[in-house]
Amino acid sequence: MAEPSAATQSHSISSSSFGAEPSAPGGGGSPGACPALGTKSCSSSCAVHDLIFWRDVKKTGFVFGTTLIMLLSLAAFSVISVVSYLILALLSVTISFRIYKSVIQAVQKSEEGHPFKAYLDVDITLSSEAFHNYMNAAMVHINRALKLIIRLFLVEDLVDSLKLAVFMWLMTYVGAVFNGITLLILAELLIFSVPIVYEKYKDPSKTPWNRQKKGRISTWKPEMQQLLKHHLIVITSLLVL
């Protein structure tokens, strides 16, 4: 009598397992993970997101410091001077390192070869297929921009052309106060400071001010006051430039 019951139980187990759907691969991942992280667009957007939110402090600090120094240099000197000084600085580093390694190899009588041999052997040639792919992608954006310019300047839609005219009229006042380099410096400061400040203080329990229920009086924390004071000093110095 035990054998039929065992057979019935095994039959029910096999039928239930046959009707069960297989679990999707990768379904056990975190819900916040990017499902298309392998794609080029998602990876580039995630890299930019990590950059402006200071996920890697060294990488973001290097990018922020380099671009800020470049913009400040362009605000003080001409483009030719900035490019020339950058090339001279890079050549000074590489030539000094090349001479140093040559002297070390001569003293130690070693045959390590060229110090940049690993980088010299890297294949950086651009294939014709990759070149055509880049050109096709660029042509899509160029054609779209040309179509938009023609549509705006030939007044296909009167409202859109008037919006462009009003925007350009407002930009004349902006150009009278700021120049292009100053606007780029301000934009970089905002891009690298506003997202991280918003992420830090977006939780109401972590906000640097507390509204009292009766008097509606805002009390600011000292660190927020110091942050605003620092930004005002930087913006004022840029306006003076």
Would you list the domain boundaries of the chain? Answer: 52-108+147-201, 205-240
Q: Cα dist. 52→55, 193, 208, 225 in Å?
A: 8, 8, 22, 23
The mean pLDDT value for 110-130 works out to 84
Tokens of 213: 């229920």
Quote the pLDDT of residue 111.
Answer: 79
Quote the pLDDT of residue 19.
Answer: 42
* pLDDT level of residue 6 (50, 70, 90 thresholds): very low
* pLDDT level of residue 235 (50, 70, 90 thresholds): low
Encode pLDDT of 22-42 as tens digits: 444 444 443 334 444 445 556
Q: How far apart are the C-alpha atoms of 128 and 86, rounded to whole Å?
A: 31
Encode pLDDT of 166-190 as tens digits: 999 999 998 888 888 888 999 999 9
Geometric angle at alpha carbon 69, from 67 and 72, rounded to 5°: 110
Q: How far apart are the C-alpha atoms of 164 and 153, rounded to whole Å?
A: 9
The mean pLDDT value for 141-156 works out to 95
Provide the 8-state DSSP code for 155.
T
Q: How far apart are the C-alpha atoms of 40 and 46, rounded to whole Å?
A: 10
